[in-house]
Structure 1
């Protein structure tokens, strides 16, 4: 099989409430691994997938790992054959950037295998192509933070303009994943086609305030800004326990909560690890009361992004 390179890419929270479709951040130690190696057949193929319960496609034109690598090879004008093996660490349809993490890890590994022809920033458009086949649109608010780490703002797509933002020291995230699957297409379908001028102004103020808070490390401002008036009111109705959890964390010092990506995972931002863990305990209580299983994960914001595990 020859040289093999394995990379890891982290889970992500996209939208981040007020940053609908333009803001995301990376989570630490939770994500996917992808191993790549050259083959002599001159073809791109997915040789195996572990941890997906047989749900993900092996066809190279349908798998996010191979679609992303194919976009990279097309840019290079290369016909190099590559074998891909995916280890899924993220649940599907979770709102934690599962498809993005697979693509990001595949690109990080393939880039090293091919001699590092691209910077991390240059890998993002290739990963966006995998998002196109995964959920119907080539968005970057999951793939960019999964590759780059930290908070990433997508200012524009034509051309792609990304801004990596500072991460306030000590900030933690609690991810609460209810045991339901919510398709991105379903979450998209409930969104309103039009919003009012008043709502647009409110959302603009909140995202501007949130970004200012990151630069100033002003957690009180960050908390006040963590509000979504566009997507959340519609999508929250699809997630049992969403408002109950929001009410439960008000008294413990968390900065706020929101829907991670298109859901059903809920994220809670906290100023330190103790409060983040307490938010996790509150989440377990809430979902136990409504009779729904839940996974809770507490992490600092990942500033590193995708990285090589072995080569």
Structure 2
């Protein structure tokens, strides 16, 4: 039996649309992500449990775990007789890498169970392909940090898809899921097909400057450059409380804030625990819409997906 945990993640980090992604874990030591268990069996079967299990489709061939199993079988050219148990703890269409959690945990669990017939490069490519089937285009900004941990920059070069870059260890990340869905496909469809040259130049300047600031440990510069001029100006139409949230959190002491992935989850950054608690309290009172929503004070998860037990 193999049990894998795959952590939640924040895509884009404002300045890195489809290029940056970071794995996160709560500072209290709890695990924020999906669990997948693989056991020997006489035929394939799938069991689903967890807080958000009821959000997944009932049809087997529409389930992402089944799709992972099918892709793995096709790759090794034989059916794999196993029982898979998915514990779904990240809500779908939340902006926290929900599909990546399930994809990474499932493929890694199957691979380890079968004594690693795929290397990590082959696994990552398969993960990106499955993510693309959901979002409409192949992208790695959630699966890469979910698999490898830390802050990842997606290079998408042959044999060099992703690289880990340093991030400020004193930053505290507060994430809030309001309790409703916002599909990645919808969030992507609202973006323009073309951007002005000036916007592209400014975005390049912001992203390259942010990466430089991370490597040279210039915290203030990194914060100043953490601007989203590609997606946020359009996606805020889907998040009516966003501007009020940003201004309120800035007053409390947030260094920066933004949309997590394609939303509707948001994140804020600070460097003091007492401010993090105040930010979390404000988000609980003002950003959550129902009892499905949650807020977590987090840190960077440097481990990524890992075997438990």
Distance 1:80 1:287, change over 3 A: closer
1:237 corresponds to which residue? 237
Residue 151 of structure 1 contacts residue 166 of structure 1 at CA under 8 Å; is this kept in 2? Answer: yes
Q: 1:34 aligns with which of 25, 36, 44?
A: 36
How far did residue 163 of structure 1 move? 1.1
1:78-128 per-position Cα deviation (integer Å, ceiling 9, x unaligned): 432222111011112111111110111112211221113344444211212
Residue 175 of structure 1 contacts residue 267 of structure 1 at CA under 8 Å; is this kept in 2? Answer: yes
How many angstroms apart in 1 are the aligned matches of 2:59 and 2:82?
A: 14
Distance 1:50 1:296, change over 3 A: closer
Distance 1:51 1:296, change over 3 A: closer
Task: Give me the TM-score of the superposition, normalised by structure 1.
Answer: 0.89
Structure 2: give runs of 5+ residues left out of the alignment. 26-30
1:277 corresponds to which residue? 277
Residue 69 of structure 1 contacts residue 126 of structure 1 at CA under 8 Å; is this kept in 2? Answer: no
How many angstroms apart in 2 are the aligned matches of 1:271 and 1:40?
A: 52
- The CA RMSD measured in Å over matched residues stands at 2.2
How many angstroms apart in 1 are the aligned matches of 2:308 and 2:108?
A: 10
How many angstroms apart in 2 are the aligned matches of 1:75 and 1:273?
A: 47
Distance 1:253 1:212, change over 3 A: farther
How many angstroms apart in 1 are the aligned matches of 2:239 and 2:61?
A: 32
Aligned pair count? 303
Q: Please show how residues 8-23 of structure 1 align to structure 2 within 5 Å.
A: 8-23=5-20
How many angstroms apart in 1 are the aligned matches of 2:143 and 2:189?
A: 22
How far did residue 52 of structure 1 move? 3.0
1:250 corresponds to which residue? 250
Residue 254 of structure 1 contacts residue 269 of structure 1 at CA under 8 Å; is this kept in 2? Answer: yes
Task: Give me the TM-score of the superposition, normalised by structure 2.
Answer: 0.90
Q: Please show how residues 215-226 of structure 1 align to structure 2 within 5 Å.
A: 215-226=215-226
How far did residue 292 of structure 1 move? 6.6
